[in-house]
């Protein structure tokens, strides 16, 4: 049952005729996203020329497709889910999956017991692939999924040596460009409010901050660093602590737009004018950045492109198998507004 008749064209023959990979042909057949229109036409032409007919019964039996993708959030702090980044990413992933006919399932995994339960759930064939976000350093879940040979793509990475497929942005370059902008505006006592120290994204943005100061010959100066957690409240607290310790601060790079919004509130309460006394830059470019007073200069992350890239990598792994992990790093862009 499910075998092809002798002489019936195969998926591999269609791929060879079209000059593309097997996974690309599969995505065209399944009307999946992530295929250029010109490539789609080429594959469809090859299908017609060869008279290829998809063997849906065999694909269903052999592939055991669940037509579902799990979006797993590993953030232990519930407050994080109220931040714009999560809703923006969920929306972009949903849009990227909308043409595939696959369901997006949201799952929270915050403990060892929950990791094991989710692993057993996923290994049971209930999902075809896993998208992971907010992964902290040392989290074993990506390794567990890789060992189980479950197609998996991370948003961000746990370290510079990450081997599981991931999509990330140039956090070092984004932070470096932000601090360079502050230096060009004549700021010299520049502080940064970071994200959680155990996240690689935090380490990268801190490195970009430090590199920009070093390039300006300020490596001998004391770096003004306070740790936050990407929330508005952490921005308020960190900014207040920085002002107490270093009242001379005249520039701030915050780890997120929400953190920057909290910093702005503290600066206003302290009677500091923005940008006259202290210039402020965020990271993300959410709609929030257009609603702060003054409007926020920020480093833009291409959220839609991140979602599309994650889904594309996951579909490739689902169709072709994890023969090689893929890594995508997208560019950031400094959006200059009134806060600098």
Question: Which part of the chain is CATH 1.10.260.40?
Answer: 11-63
From CA 339, how far away is CA 294, in angstroms rounded?
5
* Averaged pLDDT for residues 312-331: 82
Q: Return the closest-CA partner of residue 264 out of 171, 254, 247, 334.
A: 254
Phi/psi at 218 (5° precision): -105, 20
The position carrying tokens 């308020």 is: 236
87, two tokens: 């809703």
Q: What pTM does this model have? A: 0.79
11-63 has CATH 1.10.260.40 classification? yes
Between 331 and 149, name the one with better pLDDT.
Answer: 331
The contacts found for 98-102 with CB under 8 angstroms, 24 or more apart, are: 98/33, 99/31, 99/32, 99/33, 100/30, 100/31, 100/32, 100/33, 100/311, 100/315, 101/30, 101/31, 101/67, 102/67, 102/68, 102/69, 102/128
From CA 58, how far away is CA 60, in angstroms rounded?
5
Are residues 306 and 91 in contact, defined by beta-carbon separation less than 8 angstroms? no
Q: Return the closest-CA partner of residue 125 out of 214, 62, 209.
A: 62
- Bridge-based pairing of strands 297-300 and 333-335 is antiparallel
pLDDT at 81 over 80: no
* Averaged pLDDT for residues 29-46: 80
What confidence category does residue 309 fall into, taking pLDDT thresholds of 50, 70 and 90?
A: very high
From CA 213, how far away is CA 218, in angstroms rounded?
5
Phi-psi category of residue 243: left, alpha or beta, with phi > 0 → left and psi -120 to 50 → alpha: alpha
- Bridge-based pairing of strands 297-300 and 103-108 is unpaired
- Give the pLDDT of residue 284: 95
What confidence category does residue 6 fall into, taking pLDDT thresholds of 50, 70 and 90?
A: very low
68-169+303-331 in CATH: which number?
3.40.50.2300
* DSSP symbols for 164-227: S-EEEE-HHHHHHHHHHHHHHTT--SEEEEE--TTSHHHHHHHHHHHHHHHHTT-TTSPPEEEE
pLDDT at 58 over 70: no
171-300, which class in CATH?
A: alpha beta
- Give the pLDDT of residue 326: 86
Between 263 and 60, name the one with better pLDDT.
Answer: 263
- Give the pLDDT of residue 227: 96
Question: Which part of the chain is CATH 3.40.50.2300?
Answer: 68-169+303-331, 171-300
CA geometry: angle 277, 280, 286, nearest 5 deg: 150
* Averaged pLDDT for residues 333-338: 98
- Give the pLDDT of residue 5: 37
3-state secondary structure of 9: coil
From CA 295, how far away is CA 38, in angstroms rounded?
41
* Averaged pLDDT for residues 129-153: 90
User: Which residues are 79's β-sheet partners?
Assistant: none
What confidence category does residue 61 fall into, taking pLDDT thresholds of 50, 70 and 90?
A: very low
């Amino acid at each position: 049952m499910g075998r092809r008749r002798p002489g019936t064209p195969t998926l591999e023959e269609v791929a060879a005729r079209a000059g593309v990979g097997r996974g690309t042909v599969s995505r065209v057949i399944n009307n999946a996203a992530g295929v250029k229109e010109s490539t789609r036409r080429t594959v469809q032409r090859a299908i017609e020329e060869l008279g290829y007919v998809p063997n849906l019964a065999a694909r269903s039996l052999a592939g055991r497709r669940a037509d579902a993708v799990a979006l797993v959030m590993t953030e232990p702090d519930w407050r994080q889910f109220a931040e714009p980044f999560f809703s923006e990413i969920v929306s972009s992933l949903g849009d990227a999956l909308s043409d595939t006919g696959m369901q997006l399932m949201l799952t929270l995994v915050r403990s060892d017991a929950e990791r094991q339960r989710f692993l057993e759930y996923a290994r049971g064939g209930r999902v075809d692939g896993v998208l992971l976000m907010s992964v902290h350093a040392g989290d074993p879940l990506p390794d567990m999924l890789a060992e189980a040979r479950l197609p998996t793509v991370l948003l961000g990475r746990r370290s510079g040596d990450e081997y599981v497929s991931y999509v990330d942005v140039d956090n070092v370059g984004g932070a470096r460009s932000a601090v360079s902008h502050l230096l060009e505006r004549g700021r010299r006592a520049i502080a940064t409010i970071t994200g959680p120290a155990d996240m690689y994204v935090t380490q990268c943005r801190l490195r970009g901050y430090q590199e920009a100061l070093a390039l300006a010959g300020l490596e001998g100066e004391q770096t003004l660093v306070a740790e936050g957690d990407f929330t508005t409240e952490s921005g308020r607290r960190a900014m207040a602590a920085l002002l107490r310790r270093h009242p001379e601060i005249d520039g701030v790079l915050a780890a997120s737009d929400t953190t920057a919004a909290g910093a702005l509130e503290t600066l206003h309460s302290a009677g500091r004018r923005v940008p006259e006394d202290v210039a402020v830059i965020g990271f993300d470019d959410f709609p929030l950045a257009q609603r702060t007073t003054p409007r926020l200069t920020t480093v833009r992350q291409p959220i839609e492109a991140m979602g599309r890239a994650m889904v594309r990598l996951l579909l490739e792994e689902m169709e072709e198998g994890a023969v090689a992990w893929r890594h995508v790093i997208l560019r950031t862009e400094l959006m200059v507004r009134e806060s600098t």
